[in-house]
């Protein structure tokens, strides 16, 4: 593993000292980067969003909650980026461009003419840029399959037994890419009943090829992919992202079953600080015990000839079970 980034102040030689905040163009190997969020001037340095920049390269980014650091998986090694090396802006970790470039084995310079940061990747064995990792090559050209006309979704329920299409907590909110603002409050998540075994199911009108599952939220999950011909492929309990070594073809539906993971541990840590109390005594703290899914994306390849218009998925409400009938006496 490459060494942890130093937390000392780094001199940005060749970079102007700036104090105003704003977006900054970034070029990698001569190509303009399209980042969301964009690179910014923060304080006196140009800073990059760690996750957006690394995932665009095809590198996996995991968050180590205990160590408060991002772990970037490169081909053959991992890079650790402590949160203390940067700062949070709108929920994203930004790190000075020279720190991030040095950690990732890249070079960086400031172009005063275009007022842009220019980064270069290390050269590969044939003199060109280093080859992208297999995961990135396998997902080249993939789209978010959920927000399409050929997709429908459903779920086990909504907090408080509300309708699945509830504008505040309904299942469609997990797929709205952060646009569900009501009275300036963010309701861009699906909120389910507390406990384990809550689920979201995605159905496709025609079989698709799935390469990656992205889940942001407070729960672990098990992914079950149902294939054409009634076969099934399962991925064990995990959190965050699942990238398949080879994209899975013929997927007709996909179910994610969620299990709470964070809050019990937090309560137990609080109880350890005060040995006169039990974890259950801290329930008044209002820690969210519901299953919350902030963002769910399924990246892959659509069926041939499909309409690729991006839109919210359709809501599929399972029919209510028929009432039990007792035989007449």
Domains of the chain and CATH, by start? 22-131 (no CATH), 143-315 (2.60.120.260)
pTM of the complete model: 0.54
Q: Give me the sign of the Cα torsion angle 171, 245, 54, 139.
A: negative
How long is the chain?
329
Six-digit token string for 13: 């030689």
Q: What is the pLDDT of residue 164?
A: 93
Residue 137 is classified by DSSP as H
List, for residues 22-75, the tens digit of each pLDDT value: 788 888 888 888 888 888 888 778 899 999 999 888 888 988 887 787 888 877
Residue 319 confidence (pLDDT) above 50? yes
List, for residues 92-139, the tens digit of each pLDDT value: 899 888 888 877 878 888 887 778 888 887 654 444 455 555 555 556
Average pLDDT, the chain: 77
Q: What is the pLDDT of residue 224?
A: 92
| Higher pLDDT, residue 10 or 113 | 113
Residue 198 CA to residue 213 CA, distance in Å, equals 17
């Amino acid at each position: 593993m490459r060494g942890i980034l130093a937390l000392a102040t780094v001199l940005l030689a060749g970079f102007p000292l700036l104090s105003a905040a704003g977006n900054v163009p970034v070029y990698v190997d001569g190509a303009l980067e399209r980042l969301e969020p964009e690179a910014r001037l923060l304080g006196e340095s140009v800073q990059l969003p760690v996750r957006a920049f690394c995932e665009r390269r095809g590198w996996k980014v995991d968050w180590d909650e205990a160590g408060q650091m991002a772990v970037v998986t490169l081909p053959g090694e991992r890079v650790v980026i402590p949160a203390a090396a940067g700062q949070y802006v709108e929920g994203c970790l930004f790190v000075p461009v020279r720190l991030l470039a040095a950690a990732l084995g890249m070079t960086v310079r400031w172009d005063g003419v275009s007022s842009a940061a220019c980064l270069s990747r290390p050269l590969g064995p044939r003199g060109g840029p280093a080859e992208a990792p297999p995961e990135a090559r396998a997902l080249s050209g993939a789209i978010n399959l959920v927000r399409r006309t050929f997709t429908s979704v459903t779920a086990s329920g909504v907090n408080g037994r509300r309708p699945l299409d509830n504008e505040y907590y309904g299942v469609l909110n997990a797929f709205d890419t952060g646009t569900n603002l009501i009275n300036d409050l963010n309701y861009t998540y699906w909120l389910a009943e507390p406990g384990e075994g809550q689920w979201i199911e995605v159905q496709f009108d025609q079989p698709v090829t799935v390469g990656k599952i992205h889940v942001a939220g407070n729960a672990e999950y098990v992914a079950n992919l149902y294939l054409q011909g009634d076969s099934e492929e399962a991925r064990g309990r995990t959190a965050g992202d699942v990238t398949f070594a080879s994209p899975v073809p013929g997927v007709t539906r996909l179910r994610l079953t969620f299990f709470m993971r964070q809050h019990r541990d937090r309560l137990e840590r609080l109880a350890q600080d005060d040995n006169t109390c039990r974890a259950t005594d801290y329930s008044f703290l209002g820690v969210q015990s519901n299953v919350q899914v902030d963002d769910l994306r399924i990246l892959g390849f659509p069926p041939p000839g499909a309409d690729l218009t991006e839109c919210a998925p359709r809501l599929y409400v399972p029919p209510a079970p028929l009432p039990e009938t007792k035989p007449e006496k």
